[in-house]
Structures are given as C-alpha cells and as structure tokens.
C-alpha cells in the first residue's frame, strides 16, 4: 500500500527544499519507470528468462521502494503537508512487504501476488511522483491529474490483492519452517511467532484499506469534479 505526499506544504518551502523535492520525485519517476521496463522485458522475452521476475527487479525495487522512507522525514520536517503518522503507516506497509516478506521469507517471491503488486505499484508510483513533480513546478497537466485520481480505482485493489497474496504465501512458508520465530525455552525468555505477526498484518488491511480507498474517491470528486465544473462554466 503507497503514501500521500502533498505537492504543496502549509508553509512556503525554500528554493533548496523545492529543488531537493523535485530531484527526489524525478528520481522516483525514473526508478519506477525502470522497474516497469524490466517487467516488460521479462514478460516479452523469448525465450523466457532463466531468472525469476523477483531476481530481475529485486535490486531496483529495494532501492526505490525503501527510498520512500524519506517521505516520512519530508512530513516531519515540513517539506510537505502530509501527516507524518499517516505517511509512516503507508510507507511501512510497503516496506514490510518488500523487506519482511519478499526478502525476509525465502520462496514468498514465487507467489503470483508479486506480479499483481508490481504492476499496481509501478503504474501508481510513476503517475504519483509525476503529479508531485508537476505541483512543485507549479504546472498542471490534465491527463496526469486525471490518471492520478482515476487509475487508483483499479490499481489500489490490484496492489492490495498482490500484497495479501504475498503475505499469505509468506505466512504459510513461515508456519512450516518456523523462520523468524522464537519459542521457549530460550536465553531471552521470550516468544515470538512470525506467522501470527504476518496474519495480524493481513487483518489490519480490513479496516485500513477501505478508509484509504474511500479517501481517494473523495479527493477524486474534489479535484476532477471541480475541474469539470470549471470547464463547464
């Protein structure tokens, strides 16, 4: 699941701040475009590559998804107007899938969910970061605005489905291998079951995803609805 970094902050951001944000968003557009290119190469290659899709996109995905942690600090230091706690949750959910599931659990990347989430993430992020870069530059390109507030209708459910499939696959693998699980007796005198932890993460999607999804519908009505009215007038 992705964070909502605002293109404008409540207080005026200086030249250096805007330059940094523009560079950050531009780098993210380039990074996610590269991941989409790698996916295209994988799906269209003939004969089929010996490497798995995960092996092909692994390095780029780790770099550009984990770089989103910086967005929490953008919110904390006032470079953007996003709520820092909301941003933290949104970024953490994605980082959890990448680091705690795809990297952390061997075999989880074989889930078909990887294909779903990669498609949804790449398209979403290319549009999202392009939209933010436009905001920093003070320009508005309607097709990008429209894509930003329309594509999520399909992409969000696809992405969440992919994330849940990967989490489920990881929970089953961990249940069998007891990876990252601590049982008694041990020197720490503590217990931790990673399979249960993954199940709890999946359950959290039930109350949280509808809120984010409906919020985006509200934003869509506000932005595209207002735009349509202005054009009519």
Q: Catalytic residue numbers?
A: 156, 163
User: Pick from 97, 99, 71: which is nearest to 86 by CA?
Assistant: 71
d(CA 49, CA 53): 9
- Cross-strand bridge partners of residue 192: 182
Find the length of the chain. 233
User: Pick from 47, 21, 32: which is nearest to 120 by CA?
Assistant: 32
d(CA 11, CA 51): 48
Residue with tokens 């990669």: 118
Residue 66, CB-side half-sphere exposure with 13 Å CA sphere:
12
Q: What share of the chain is helix, strand, coil (3-state, %, to 5)?
A: 75, 0, 25
Token readout for 114 is 């990887």
d(CA 201, CA 208): 11
């Amino acid at each position: 699941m992705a964070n909502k970094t605002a293109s404008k902050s409540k207080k005026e951001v200086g030249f250096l701040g805007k330059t940094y944000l523009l560079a950050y968003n531009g780098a993210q557009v380039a990074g996610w475009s590269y991941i989409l290119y790698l996916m295209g190469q994988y799906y269209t290659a003939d004969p089929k590559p010996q490497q798995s899709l995960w092996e092909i996109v692994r390095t780029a995905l780790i770099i550009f998804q984990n770089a989103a942690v910086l967005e929490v600090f953008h919110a904390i230091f006032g470079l953007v107007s996003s709520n820092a706690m909301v941003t933290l949750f949104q970024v953490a959910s994605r980082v959890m899938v990448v680091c705690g599931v795809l990297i952390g659990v061997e075999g989880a990347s074989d889930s078909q969910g990887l294909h779903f989430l990669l498609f949804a993430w790449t398209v979403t992020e290319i549009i999202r970061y392009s939209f933010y870069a436009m905001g920093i530059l003070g320009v508005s390109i309607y097709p990008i605005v429209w894509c930003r507030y329309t594509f999520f209708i399909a992409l969000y459910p696809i992405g969440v489905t992919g994330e849940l499939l990967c989490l489920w696959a990881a929970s089953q693998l961990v249940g069998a291998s007891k990876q990252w699980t601590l049982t008694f007796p041990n020197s720490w005198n503590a217990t931790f079951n990673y399979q249960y932890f993954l199940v709890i993460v999946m359950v959290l999607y039930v109350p949280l995803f509808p809120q984010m999804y409906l919020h985006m519908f509200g934003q869509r009505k506000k932005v595209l609805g207002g735009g349509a009215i202005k054009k009519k007038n």
